[in-house]
Amino acid sequence: MATWDDVRRLALALPETAERPSYEGLPAWRVNDKAFAWDRPLRGKDRDVLGDAAPSGPVLGVSVADEGVKQALVADDPAVYFTTPHFDGYAAVLVRLDDIAADELGELLTEAWLCRAPKRLVRDFRR
């Protein structure tokens, strides 16, 4: 089970990452002013669509490389990963924070960061 403290610690350990509130005032983590992870509480429409499958705990949104990656994560582990129609067409997936292990969260955040970081920063990071 991961927490917001885990998200904060892991995200801020990545180069040139900053935590700034999203437009709703909720935490978001950015690299080069591009969000790669954010607190994404469910809205009423989300809950209506998800029904009984809607998580009651915290939800993290993260960038992914493309929709194929998103669909693979959801298919491979629907107990942790999910999406809503709001994210149709977007390279982002939602995560049940209460249900992801901290080590998996670290990998997910690193991949999200790699998707949004400038090429120079990615190159330096991979060295």
How far is Cα 61 from Cα 68, in angstroms, rounded to an integer? 16
Tokens of 124: 């330096």
Pair 106, 126: CB distance under 8 Å:
no
Mean pLDDT to the nearest integer, 28-43: 97
Q: What is the pTM of this model?
A: 0.95
| pLDDT, position 10 | 98
More confident residue, 110 or 24: 110
| pLDDT, position 87 | 96
Mean pLDDT to the nearest integer, 94-108: 97
More confident residue, 127 or 14: 14
Mean pLDDT to the nearest integer, 67-85: 97
| pLDDT, position 58 | 97
Mean pLDDT to the nearest integer, 46-69: 96
DSSP 29-90: EEETTEEEEEE-PPPHHHHHHHGGGS-SS-EEEEE-SSHHHHHHHHHH-TTTEE--GGGTTS
| pLDDT, position 118 | 97
| All structural domains of the chain | 4-121 (3.90.1150.30)
Q: Is the pLDDT of residue 68 over 90?
A: yes
What is the average pLDDT value for the chain, to the nearest integer?
A: 96
Q: Is the pLDDT of residue 23 over 90?
A: no
